[in-house]
Amino acid sequence: MKNLLWSLKEAIMCGVLLAIGLVSDNALVYILAIVIGGYHQTKEGLIDTFQNKHLNVELLMILSAIGACLIGYYSEGAILIFIFSLSGALEDYTLDQSKREIRAMMALQPTTATRLLSNGSTEVVAVEELKVGDNIIVAMGETFPIDALITEGRSSIEEAAITGESLPKEKSIGETVFGGTLNISHPLTLSVSTDVSDTLIQKIVRMVEEAQQFPSKTARLIDKIEDSYARIILVSVFLMIAIPFFFMNVPFEDAFYKGMILLVVASPCALIASVTPATLAAISNGARNGILVKGGIHFENLVDVKAVSFDKTGTLTYGLPSLTDVFMEDKTHAAAIVAIEKYSSHPLASAIVKGLSKQYNISNTDSVSSVLEKPGFGIEGVYEGRLYRLGNSDFMSHHNEALDAKSVSWASAGKSLVFVECDGVAVALLGLADEVREDARTLVSWLASRKIETIMITGDNEKTAQHIANQIGITRVIASCLPDEKADIVKNLEEEYGSVVMMGDGINDAPALANASVGVAMGSGTDIAIEAADIILVKDDVSNLAYSLDLSYRLRRIVIQNIVFSFAVIILLVAANFMSFVSLPLGVVGHEGSTILVILNSLRLLNTRKLI
């Protein structure tokens, strides 16, 4: 923000002095305008030149202004510096806009916290003073100051600011809350679990900052050729002055004037500004929409992607079982199933309780006794005087054809089966499966419309994997693969398709994410997966991959537009100078005007647009 304010002040003061100079035609006023308007960028240009032995655009601009003044064209020199300072201020504005999301994220985290002391009293301290293991209290309606574990209480937490999930999430003892999220319903006592510099918000901020400092390949290439290009321009300007003066009897003032025009119009200001502002705008746009890109180079790699490979569990599916099918001869058995399953420790039990309670509107299930769980088989209990058994097929004493036929069909679709028996008679069959993400279907459909191949990589068996793939629309399945095989599979896919995205969330996905052309991790994924990935979808919305791809396409289009336009203007103005069709003021306006247009074109990448 400070750089932006200084740039704006310099540009405004330079413009005011230029206006005064044009009215008064006072050379000193013009020189003052040049000094004020060009000081900041001249200083940076000289430091870069002497420290890095690197000629740059800033140096060419100040040489042009000085040269114009030496032959009496003070107003032209002032106009050049004014427009140059204006374009510099506009570039600083682009950078400021790209950092606005960082400031917004930092503002989410409170600056103070209520620490609970060992004697039961409390004290308000700066968040920076908190240490891992400290106990804090967060009242209803307050924002959590730091990542912490709940030690007392249960409450609804609004995590929209971090995850983008609009619905509050119920959390209780042992669960983690994130700094910057909101405590909605009840006060909580928590134990600080993370250093203040390593909270989720701080990690996100660091990722965005690092991304903005990591240029794209195109930006690095342009930066690399800037020094050579500047040397060529200086040599060309010298020849433009020397050859007409020494060999063509052209007056020195005329030859020098044309040389100054060449110095202005051939300087690659617009070309230098073609990539970086656009990349920063794209990174900022992504951050605002829950997409963290670790550098501009990853946008370039995304453009050429021909295939996207997905981990299944937690990426294409939610990673949690849910009740998908119920076959029950008498609905009155539902209450008994819910009552007994509440006592079960099996991973499927909570999904059965949740699913049946919702489907049959069950609330009162107190009439249960003699509950006995048999690990590896199931659970039994007495409900309203009737003995129920719930579990696998081997746990049942009775079968009937209807249930057996359903079980074969559901098993082939990859569902987990729970049989139900009442007083020795088979009465129900429950089917559970890992639920497919709706946004995954949307994404796969969008990718297919753009002729991008989709591949599922999973350790599940072929039938289960194919069933999920058919639901989503994925065209290719690689099933029954071990975790350590995923990286090799991705390498083989890259040989086949050229450029491949890998999406995953688990520890076992990290090697594949690191080896892919572009690795994309879910925001709820493991730390190692997030570390290995190039892009993180903070909001856990897989359809945001489509937005990432679209941003990369937009970025490439705008960069190409900028580069072509920049070169076209340079060629046009240089040719016009050789034919004596352009004056110094016109050359200044044409050159610096093209730089401003390029930056304004780049700012279009800040606009969000709905895709799917």
DSSP assignments along 49-107, one per residue: HHHH----HHHHHHHHHHHHHHTT-HHHHHHHHHHHHHHHHHHHHHHHHHHHHHHHHHH
311 noted as active-site residue: yes
Q: Residue 442: which H helix or E strand, with range?
A: helix 438-449
Pairing status of strand 518-522 against strand 188-192: unpaired
DSSP category for residue 456: E
Q: Which amino acid does the sequence have at 299?
A: F
Helices 200-212 + 276-288 axis angle, to 10: 160
Cα separation, 106 vs 98, whole angstroms? 14
Cα separation, 206 vs 411, whole angstroms? 46
Tokens, residue 359: 């489907």
In which residue are the tokens 């699913």 written? 355
In which residue are the tokens 């090697």 written? 511
Q: Which of 92, 311, 505, 541 is catalytic?
A: 311
CB 190 within 8 A of CB 174: no
Percent of the chain as helix, strand, coil, to the nearest 5: 55, 20, 25
Q: Is the dihedral of CA 580, 583, 584, 589 positive or negative?
A: negative
**72 Cβ contact partners less than 8 Å away, ≥ 6 residues apart:** none
**318 Cβ contact partners less than 8 Å away, ≥ 6 residues apart:** 434, 435, 437
Cα separation, 297 vs 92, whole angstroms? 21
Helix extents (H) in 268-379: 269-272, 276-288, 296-303, 333-341, 349-360
Residues with catalytic annotation? 311
